[in-house]
A and B are shown apart, each in its own frame.
Chain A
Amino acid sequence: MSAPAGRDLRLDLFRGLALWLIFLDHIPANIVNWLTIRNYGFSDAAEIFVFISGYTAAFVYGRTMEQRGVVVASARILKRAWTVYIAHIFIFVIFMAEIAYLTRSIDNPLYNEEMGALDFMKEPGDTLIQALLLKFKPTFMDVLPLYIVLLIGFPPVLWLLRKAPTLALLASVALYTVSWNLGWNLPSYPTGVWYFNPLTWQLIFVFGAWCGLGGVTRLGPFVRSRWVLGLAAAYLLFSFLIVMTWYFPRLAVHIPKWFQDWMYPIDKTNMDVLRFAHFIALAIVTVRFIPVDWPGLKSAWLKPMILCGQHSLEIFCLGIFLSFLGHFVTSEFSRSMGMQVLISVLGILVMIGVAWLITWYKDIEGKGSGKQPKPSDADLAGGGA
């Protein structure tokens, strides 16, 4: 990866990719989501997303902290958290509208149990309060609350990362280890805990931030070593083989029992070490084959993905909405494979279109107000989610 001075388009590219994957993964029973990375290894788009968000947040707000001081940078971070919160509540309202529709349409004696669940969720009073408190998070609405909590905690972390990066990273590892071992997590409504435990997922966010503040340069020789690359590739292969045993259970007998005991469960809630390692391996292999000056980054073919990555909060929310909509269409009209492919493609086209519109709008706003256009890095800050 590059030194933190210039804009690294790979961040936008891979965040755009992660947004597409999240959209596809959130349409249940979609044949296209067999293409997404979660089916071929331990980690999935969530890791990519949180890592890049940490990287860009540190990059952008780190610069603010240097130029304008700790108070201004902290205020901007908290304002960002507020924006994400509003976005989350907006998505929640759309979700509740879907529930209201479903409860009227699902009537079938086969599904008495599932219908009961919806009755419980449409209790508007309690549910609304718990949603505002970020304790009630309907299915697939777990990522933004995680990001909100990470942002709220970010100002002191950023301060420490700039003063003593290694110490900050060690503190993050310590929090991860302690939370993991003592089972710390935030409570959910009506019972249970957060699906993405912020106390453990902070590790990949802080690690991303550490990389964004120059850690990448320090890691350079390590990442470029042939041994490390070989090790990373071997781990990716191992992970792929293990995941195959989930889809072809008959293969599972070839994994020794003691090894299964050691390995399982591979926990997503607490971001299992195996998942973290898988993400790191993926990153090592990726930066090896896609250097920062890779010409493809300027090609018209990848431009749409980069555009999406540059407006990640808007496109993330849009993706969640589109996946609701896509699921609605498949269950109401047609479940055919052609329809699934069509919806996936259309959804991504809409995401690209809207990302393009936002870019266009920001451009004319920048010119129209007579002010200097904001530096393009502001888009990176607008990243996140």
Chain B
Amino acid sequence: MRRIAGLTLGILAYAVAAHAGSLCDVAAHLVHADAALPRVADSIAKSKALKIVVIGTTSSTLPGANGEALAYPARLEIALRKKLPEVNVKVISLAKPRQTAADMAEGVAKILRDEKPALVIWQTGTYDAMHGIGAENFQTTLEGAVDKLQAGGADVIFMNMQYSPRTEAVISTTPYADAIRWVALEHAVNVFDRQAIMRHWGELGTFDLVTATKSLDTATKVHDCFGSMLAGLIVEALARDADAPKEPTKQ
């Protein structure tokens, strides 16, 4: 049902996007702010600054000499500076290969102490799914860490796993994506549904996610989209703060 509705919307969006020349927008309807970002709003109101930390694994990076500049954290910084010209935006990527959610959760206290971010973008799930950590443990880990982050003054945006047509039959990510969705619902946290977005691109053929290649071409475009779409999500969530400034923060 969602798929059919999504597809219809998608085709419409595709037609529009083809004119606008932006491939990302094909999946724009899959990005929506379900929660406000009160700590980000606070930080901007107080100091005109927004410090974002990205924690995650290999899929938050791109290989090669320019990898760091091309990967979505750097693209997010550029996109967000355009959207919020009066704010001093800084994005720091702490993505490292082969980390489970539990590994990353251990680093949370140190990140809060050293970086004092107003927002943490937490990309996770893939490595846990590959190693069969168990969706239940995974979920408990996320819950504990989100509590810590929110209490430590940082809002959270989850980014779920990539859609990978070649491996989805052998790595079952669904229980982990569900766990992320549940924690997000319970803790009033936004999810950047990378999986749904990429699946949509894959189905419409917006990007070729199947052909084997050494080229960074597609990967670069995909990450650029992630960056600008994340920026859009943050701005939309901030508009929610403006709509409901007195909304109590959920801890």
Interface set of A (CB-CB < 8 Å, partner B): 27-29, 31, 34, 39, 95, 98-99, 102, 105-114, 116-118, 120-121, 138-140, 188-193, 195, 246-250, 252-253, 257, 260-261, 264-265, 267-270, 323-324, 327-328, 330-332, 335
Determine whether the beta carbon of B164 is less than 8 Å from that of A192: no
Q: In the bound complex, what is the Cα–Cα distance between A110 and B98 (angstroms)?
A: 15
When C-beta atoms are compared, the residue in chain B nearest to A269 turns out to be: B136
B166–A99 touching, CB < 8 Å: no
Are A139's CB and B170's CB within 8 A? yes
Contacting chain A: which of B103-111, B147-155, B181-189? Answer: B181-189
Point out residues on B near A: beta carbons under 8 Å: 1-4, 32, 34, 57-59, 62-64, 97-98, 126-127, 130-137, 139, 162, 164-172, 175, 178-179, 181-182, 185-186, 199, 202-203, 209-216, 218-219, 222, 250
Please tell me if the beta carbons of B199 and A102 are within 8 angstroms of each other in the complex: no
Known: A111-B162, A269-B135. A117 touches B167 (CB 8 A): yes
Can you list 23 pairs linking A and B with CB atoms under 8 Å apart?
Answer: A29-B168, A29-B202, A34-B1, A107-B212, A109-B213, A110-B219, A110-B222, A112-B59, A114-B59, A114-B171, A116-B98, A139-B171, A140-B169, A188-B134, A189-B132, A190-B132, A192-B134, A249-B34, A252-B34, A260-B185, A328-B169, A331-B169, A335-B210
Cross-chain contact of B130 among A95, A117, A269 (Cβ < 8 A):
A117
Q: State how many angstroms separate the Cβ of B26 from the closest Cβ of chain A.
A: 15
Whether the Cβ atoms of B212 and A113 lie closer than 8 Å is: no
Nearest chain A CB to B225 CB, angstrom units:
12
Contact indicator B133/A114 (Cβ below 8 Å): no
Contact present for B167 and A111 (CB under 8 Å): yes
Interface of B is mostly: loop
Q: Is the CB of B132 within 8 A of A188?
A: yes
- CB of A112 within 8 A of CB of B63, answer yes
Closest B residue by C-beta to A265: B182
> Is A105's CB under 8 angstroms from B1's CB?
no
Give which listed residue, A95, A139, A265, A331, contacts B172 with CB less than 8 A: A139
Are A105 and B170 touching (Cβ within 8 A)?
no
Q: Which residues of B contact A328 (CB under 8 A)?
A: 169
Contacts of B169 in A (CB 8 A): 27-28, 98, 139-140, 323-324, 327-328, 331
Q: Say whether A331 contacts B166, CB under 8 Å.
A: yes
Please give, as numbers and ranges, the residues of chain A lying within 8 Å of B214 by CB-CB distance: 107, 109
In the complex, the answer to whether A108 meets B167 with C-beta atoms within 8 Å is no
